[in-house]
Amino acid sequence: MGGCARAPQLSRGVRHTDSYEKKPVNTQAIAPPPIPQTWWQRNWKWVVPAGIVGCLAALACFVGLILLFVFGMFKGSDAYRDAIAQVRSDPGVVRELGEPIEPGWWVSGSFHVTGPSGTADFETPLRGPSGRGTLYVTAEKQAGRWHYKILEVAVEGKSDRINLLRDVNGV
């Protein structure tokens, strides 16, 4: 048993080969494992639209709060409340629009008050069970009291306006 190599053994008709026999080698380069995707790469398709919708919703809320604040300022003013009270108590307006008379939510115009003085120039829609109209107001505040220059209601479908100043300024 000296330096001889051991001969392969045969068993039941199967030819065993030498374990040192050359095996075919793959000559193609082995591809590295894929790089894992980041969170952004996996989710950008839903994050971008959700972000846009979220920004639009935030903008709409911001604009809504500004409108709520501005309309609240108008509707909380003495000039607005007095004008609406005059509209509701005037028999000519009640005859045309019916009762109850409700102001619309939209008010357009300007309103500026500094202490005991100021100006108001606005219009607001009115509605009642018998019709619709628009209230027009132009007033000036002096020494803490409103003096109306224009206070009238334009009824839809009528050419004449109903003047409400006869009782307000003592005319």
How many separate domains does the chain show?
A: 2
| pLDDT tens digits, one per residue of 31-52 | 888 888 899 888 999 999 999 9
Please tell me the pTM assigned to this model.
0.66
- Residue 11 included in any domain: no
Residues 56, 81, single domain; the answer is no
Does residue 138 share a domain with residue 68?
A: no
112 and 89 inside one domain: yes
- For residues 89 and 109, state if they share a domain: yes
CA-based torsion, 36, 40, 41, 46: positive or negative: positive
Q: Are 64 and 97 found together in one domain?
A: no
Tens digits of residue pLDDT in 136-159: 999 999 998 999 999 999 999 888
Domain assignment present for 51: yes
**Residue 27 is assigned to a structural domain of this protein:** no
What residue numbers bound the domain in which 132 lies? 77-168
